[in-house]
Each structure stands twice: as C-alpha cells, then as structure tokens.
Amino acid sequence: MQTQEIAVVTGANGFVGSHLVDNLLSKGLEVRCIVRKSSNLKWLDKKNVKIFDSGLFDKEGLREAFKGANYIYHVAGVVKSKTKEGYFRGNVETTRNLLEVAIENSTTIKRFLVVSSQTVSGPSTKGNPVNEETKCNPITTYGRSKLEEEKLVLSYKDKLPITICRAPAVYGERDTEIFIYFNTFSKGLTTTIGFEKKELSLIHVVDLVEGFYLAAMSEKAKGEIYFISSEKYYTWQEINSITARVLNKKPVIVKVPHFLVYTIASCAQSISIFSSKPATLNIEKAKDITRQYWTCDTSKAMNDFGYRQKISIEEGIKRTCDWYKQMKWI
C-alpha cells in the first residue's frame, strides 16, 4: 500500500525546478523528475529522486512518470526563442501533452500546478500593482504564449484539479539570468536602464517554491490563479544599495538610455541569426526591461493559503552572493 505521496516536477534540473525538488524532498514526498536526455543534471546530483528523461513530447515516457502520481508541478517552459513558434510549442503544446496524459491518471492526481509568469498580465502602473483580476495585456511573445497556456489549463479545470501560479522576477542560488547583474557588480560596474526610477516585484526562489507547495496543498486553490511574489516592491536603487553593502563594492553606475537598449538588442538579435541559440538581449527583452513598473499583488495567496515572503531582500541578496562566491562564479 502506497503511503508516500508522489510529486512529478517538469524542468526539475533548472534553477526554479531544482529548488522545488529540494522543497518537496524536505516535505517527505517521493519526487520524480522529468528532464530531457540532453539535460544537465548537476543540481539533482546525489538527490533521492527518480529521473525520467522523456522530455515533454514523449507520451509513453510521461505515462510512466505520471503512474500513481498525486501532484504534478509543471515548471518547464521556453523563456527564449528565435521564433514565435518556438515559444508556443515550448509553452502551450508541451502543456497540452501533459494535460492529456494527466487525464488518464486523474483518479490519483490531487493537483496539477502550472508555473506561469507576471508577463501574462504585462507591466503595472505607478501605485497600481497587477493582481489576478487585472485584464491581461502581455507585451512580449513569451507573455502571449504563457497567456495561451493559462487559457488551455483553465479549460481543463472541470476535468483536473488545476492551479496556476504566476512568478515575477526571481533570483537566488543557482540562477544564471540575474547572475549577470551580480557578476558585473562584483567587478565594480552596474547599469541602470533609462533615467526614471523603476519599481519591481522580486522574489527569492526559496520563497517562490514554498508558495507553489502551499498552493498545491490548498483545497481553496483549485481552479484558481495566484501571484506568488514579494510582499514589498523594490527600486533598482534599493537593490544596488543592498548589493553594494553585501559585496563591499562602490560600483560605477552607467545609465543606459532606452533607445540604446533597443539598438543593442536589435544588433544582438541580428547576430543571433547565425547562432543556434537566441540572443540574451533581444527586442522582446528590451520591451520588458524598459518598462517602469513590474509590480504585482500577492494578497490573494496570503489570504487563501497563508503564503508569506520569509526571505527579505537583504537576506536573499546576501545568501545569493555568498553562494556565487562559494561556487567561484564571482
């Protein structure tokens, strides 16, 4: 007789996915990790998990991973692509596959949780953070593909116990995206985009994955959408000030006007035509980082299942920088 509950995590080898695996193992669940055959598994090394290298398009492999599973956490997704089709294939068609296989195991599944993004709502305005009731206005192809994914997932809510969790900007140990900011800062240089103050929601990955766990365990969260975010909003000036104290650096701050961001992005995107990988900074990313406000309200998650931001920005930046130093990344 099965006593240990089973959780399946897609994208388990990635930054957020591997932290979710750690969280679930700490809660005593059996964890199955869906990865690709080509995935780097360094963040799963020596952990008590079962690896399924089927990827997200092999239905037979997915059936094996889903057999008897109680919780499905769909973390995997495409955040960078050279084509519109790449975003929609990686964020919509993969999810469709998972839902179709999950239906076959619906008798055991207690929750099918999908990780979405604040980009679905689009940017906020001064003093008006977006919430779950805000009309969605994605400004990038990535955001539009995640919105399409959400619509697909919601269409299954009478067939499966689904929950959608939207994340804002995420940082923390193992991250390679916001790492670029800390790396240049450690070398005595940082940039700010534009000349006006920008405000954002920013969450440490450990708080984020705890929010996912709480949402999956909550009966009230069935069929619902939530922002899992910081309770506070931050300006880059605040983040710079804290990082300066943590790294004991006084960096040169270079202000980059918006037109130059778009120029660099356009050049990088053109050069990437000759590469197998999409550019780190492209026109889509430029649209994103030049917006003044990316704030979201996490009150609904706090009220429905007791989510709280436990890691302050000061503690989070220190933990992150200490880890980068330990790994000799900075």
- What's residue 274's pLDDT? 82
Measured distance CA(20)–CA(9) in Å, rounded: 8
Measured distance CA(84)–CA(93) in Å, rounded: 13
User: Which residue from 266, 279, 252 is spatially nearest to 82, judged by alpha carbons?
Assistant: 279
Statement: residue 173 has pLDDT above 90 = yes
- What band does 261 get if pLDDT is binned at 50, 70 and 90? very high
Domains of the chain in start order, with CATH, are 6-168+202-229+295-310 (3.40.50.720)
| pLDDT over 70 percentage in the chain | 99
Q: How far is CA 108 from the centre of its chain?
A: 26
- What band does 3 get if pLDDT is binned at 50, 70 and 90? confident
User: Which residue from 9, 227, 32, 272 is spatially nearest to 130, judged by alpha carbons?
Assistant: 227
Phi, psi of 13 (to 5 degrees): -85, -10
The residue type found at 251 is P
- What's residue 2's pLDDT? 55
Q: What is the DSSP string of 101-153?
A: HHHHTTTT-SEEEEEEEGGGT---BTTB-B-TTSPP---SHHHHHHHHHHHHH
- What's residue 282's pLDDT? 87
